[in-house]
Structure 1
C-alpha cells in the first residue's frame, strides 16, 4: 500500500517525525518526573514517620 504524498512528501514526513519525536520526549520526561516525585514523596514519608493510604 503506497501513498502518493505529492511534491510535499519530504515536508509531510518530516512533520510527522517531528511530532513523534516531541511526543516521545514528553512521555519520557513525564515518566522521569513521576518517578522523581514518587521518590521524593517516599523520602518525606520516611522522615515524617507517616505512611500514606494505598
Structure 2
C-alpha cells in the first residue's frame, strides 16, 4: 500500500515525533525548575543583576 520502504519511513517519523516530544517536555520541565529556583532566590532576597539597582 505505502510502498517498499514504508516501514522505514514510518519508523523515522515515529522516532522524530518522540524526539520532538521529549525535547518539548524537557523544555517545559526545565522552565518550571528554573522558575522555582528563581522564586526561591527572590524570597531569600537575592536579586538578578539584570533587575537593575533600586
Q: TM above 0.5, one fold?
A: yes
Q: Unpaired runs of 5+ in structure 1? A: none
1:4-49 per-position Cα deviation (integer Å, ceiling 9, x unaligned): 5310000000000000000000000000000000000000000017
| TM-score normalised by L of structure 2 | 0.80
Following TM superposition, where does structure 1 have runs of at least 4 consecutive aligned residues deviating by more than 2 angstroms?
none
| Number of aligned positions between the proteins | 47
- Across the aligned residues of Structure 1 and Structure 2, the Cα RMSD in angstroms comes to 1.5
Higher relative contact order (CA 8 A, sep 6+): 1
Q: Unpaired runs of 5+ in structure 2? A: 48-54
| TM-score normalised by L of structure 1 | 0.80
